[in-house]
Amino acid sequence: MCGIAGYINPELAPVLRVEAVERMNAAMLHRGPDDAGVESWGDATLGMRRLAIFDPAHGHQPMSTPNGRWHLVFNGAIYNFRALRAELASSHDFKTECDTEVLLAAVARWGQGALPRLRGMFAFAAWDSLERKLLIARDSFGIKPIYVHTKPDGSLLFASELNALLASGCVAGDIDPQAVSDYLSWLSVPAPRTIYQSVKSLQPGECGVWQNGRLTITAYDTARSLLTPPAGFTAARSKQEFTAGLRAQLEDTVRAHIVADVPVGAFLSGGLDSTALVALMTRLSGARLKTFSIGFEDAGYSEAEAAASNARYLGADHHASVLTGARVATDISTLIASLDQPTGDGINTYYASQAARAGGVTVALSGLGADELFGGYSSLGNTFRLDRWLPVWNVVPGPIRSALLTRWDRGNTRSRKLADTLRHANSPASLALLQRRVFAESTRRSLLASGIASAYSPHAAEAALAGDLRDASLFSVASMADVRGYMSDVLLRDSDVMSMRHSLELRVPFVDRPFVNWVSCQPAAFKHTPKQPKSALADALADLLPPDLLTRKKRGFTLPYAVWMRGPLKPFLEDTFSSASVGRSGLFDAPAVQAHWQSFLAGNDTLEWSRVWSLAILVAFINRPRPASA
């Protein structure tokens, strides 16, 4: 795991490119405290910060092929690197035992054709000195990020973090008003847009080639390909056959993800997903595992007791931390400075990662991704219910529909969001994505200053999903909508930023290309039982799991924000929502923002806190000091 950066500019002196890349490297020290490197070849300067996971004594980057043609910087982990190494041994004399050299050899031999062969999480850049072109790529799910800035003269900068690009001194930090609007809609800024006007993100499963001042981006992996059976695949014909197959697939992905030359641990909650991983890790490694959890003083929110019970059953060396609102209030400036983009989520990962690194592990596994594959979110039920009613709604006479929509527009948040869905759900993909809207359209427009509020904008992934999945089942569409939307834009992005802030490599075995492909190609009836979410996962691991786990009521991991926001976090919020703070950027309607905050304080809506908190983080992020830029 690393932070990577680069500057491609034929007209700029190498020494100036090196200075810019070194500034980017310095901004990513937390991503790679073990090693650093910056080198130039012709038009290109590449840099990296390394967190050593495989063969720590070797693997310095940038890494070059023996003939000097290819030069690589790489962030991530290639889990099948040993199999690829054996395949490449006839054409490459390997000097290290790390996955970086295998990736370099694969790119040198197959070029872009290497991408479908990679099993792992990755973002990398490879410079071809012979053809004077750069290949950049991001893994199929967007576990690892890569951001790019192109200048009018055709030059290009890239980095693992937006903060690093700004630190280069060559990239402007102007906020994109459309990105602000997107954030209010989706709790994030969906790729390829970022919060900054001049920077774009590669989307999951994309690669780009820069040559002669032009960057061309294409998709090498899509939602359709994730639902396409691989060679030799046979769908399960019975639930028993599916359960046995799922067990084998789970063991395979966990076995791949626990390989490292440094200590490996896991996040552990009171729920099924992380407990399943810890159970498999313990079974496959035969060692006592270090596990980490976050609890709260308020027992109504805390899973600490359940996590400790799971750990005892599994024989784990468990480390529990208690997080208080006072601690978050003390750390809030540091937390906001750590963000690459605004987010209403991720603080739990920040503190869990901090605890894991302090507890002696360099790699931790997370249960992220199981809800998307096995129907664990309540939003799935909403999608199915609305899908049944939409044909009826569409034949209701226009004047009646208009009157109902107008009435619902004046109702509570749930009513307003229902009206938005009925207006804009024109495909199964759009219907599924709309379940993740944060603010209703009328509220979103009211929060933005005059001239800033744009018309309704669909999610950036909607068109591709609608085209890729036109013949897929509704369950598959909903699953892929969460994979390409909420999981990629919020969960994985936050997990990368927050874990790397503490120099921790966070791995997600449920978000593994072969595993996702196998599960996605199986009959929906075997994967999902509506009244028993994720029972398929529980059945596959029944012999390993604590007996009482399956009888516990599911509870999502939620911090006690609603309590903290009226207590220790209130001073931060009062300051953030002050007229001076809200008005500083010129992007917001201050009275509307302040009214939203006051409505939260006066009300008892148990869900409204998330929207208010997300709004506060957006305002505070935009107002925070940023590195000097171009």
Residues making up the annotated binding site are 99, 294, 366-367
Q: How far is CA 492 from CA 89, 199, 351, 433, in A?
A: 34, 19, 16, 17
229 prior amide bond cis, ω within 30: no
The span from the CA of 47 to the CA of 317, in Å, is: 38
Name the phi and psi angles at 288, rounded to 5.
-75, 125
Instruction: List, as residue ranges, the binding site for L-glutamine.
Output: 99
Helix (H) or strand (E) holding 400: helix 398-409
Instruction: List, as residue ranges, the binding site for ATP.
Output: 294, 366-367
DSSP-derived 3-state class of residue 120: strand
- What are the DSSP calls for 457-503, one per residue? ---TTHHHHHHHTTTS-HHHHHHHHHIIIIIIIIIIHHHHHHHHTTT
Q: How far is CA 538 from CA 508, 518, 545, in A?
A: 18, 17, 8
Q: Which two tokens stand for residue 546?
A: 């604590």
DSSP-derived 3-state class of residue 126: strand
Name the phi and psi angles at 542, rounded to 5.
-55, -35
Residue of 2, 98, 170, 207 with catalytic role: 2
- What are the DSSP calls for 232-254, one per residue? T----SSHHHHHHHHHHHHHHHH
Q: Which two tokens stand for residue 261?
A: 């030359």
The span from the CA of 114 to the CA of 104, in Å, is: 10
Place of tokens 């596994």: 365
The span from the CA of 515 to the CA of 283, in Å, is: 19
Instruction: Count CA within 13 A, CB hemisphere, residue 380.
Output: 25
Closest CA to 349 of 493, 220, 447, 204: 493
The span from the CA of 527 to the CA of 520, in Å, is: 9
C-alpha 418: how far from chain center: 27
DSSP one-letter code for 299 = T
Q: Which two tokens stand for residue 433?
A: 């994505």
The span from the CA of 112 to the CA of 220, in Å, is: 9
C-alpha 266: how far from chain center: 18
| Residues in CB range of 58: below 8 A, 6 or more apart | 95, 96, 97, 98
Q: Does 207 qualify as catalytic in the annotation?
A: no
Strand bridging mode 120-128 / 200-201: unpaired
Helix, strand, coil distribution of the chain in percent, nearest 5: 45, 15, 35
Helix (H) or strand (E) holding 71: strand 70-78
Active site residues: 2
